[in-house]
Amino acid sequence: MKKAQLAVLIFCAVFMVLAFSCASSAPAKTAAPAAAAATKGIGGDLGALELNLDDNFEYGDGYQGLFTDKRLFNGSKIAPGESYTLKITYTASRDLEDVVQVGLADTTPAANYWRSLTWDDAKGIEMAELPKSKAGEKVSSTIKLTTVAGSTGTSGPANALVFQTKGAGTKGKKGTGVQKAVKFTFSEFVFTKD
């Protein structure tokens, strides 16, 4: 074997050893995002946001908004017996006709599109309430929610935060709300697991 061929062979062997060593000691690039998501936890300070409570007279007797943002549970699944705290400050775009009810619900097909997770009418466990307010009036409140049922999955719709308020309209008939939709503008929205 000639010196040039031997030199190339040695160079290739050294290169492969170094490449293998570097590859085995380098951290996996896909592990970091997964680890970050796993340590993210439930909720936290979600900052300023808006939520529309739209006409829901087709199914109920008022207006309803569903907060299904994945940051609320960060891939976790609600289980029975858990406690959560929601600290909010908001204004409504119009005068409210009634109090605002708040709770967690599973709105997926697996839950037949509606499973209450923090209230049970049959057992007398009611939804949390926020006071009736005027348009532009600043409302601050801290709400405690305790789950009575578990969700069917980890998606946002399976772990939805529901805001609803009653109003004048025809129950069972879509789009009949007299006052129309209301927008909540949150300047503070902090959701934590106790």
User: How many whole angstroms separate alpha carbon 119 and alpha carbon 123?
Assistant: 8
Over residues 78-120, the pLDDT tens digits come to 999 999 999 999 999 999 999 999 999 999 999 999 999 999 9
d(CA 35, CA 2): 52
pLDDT of amino acid 117? 98
* Least confident stretch, 9-23, 42-56, 104-118, 176-190: 9-23
Cα–Cα dist 136/93, whole Å: 6
Q: What is the three-state SS of 4-40?
A: HHHHHHHHHHHHHHHHHHHHHHCCCCCHHHHHHHHHH
pLDDT per residue as tens digits for the range 164-181: 999 999 999 999 999 999
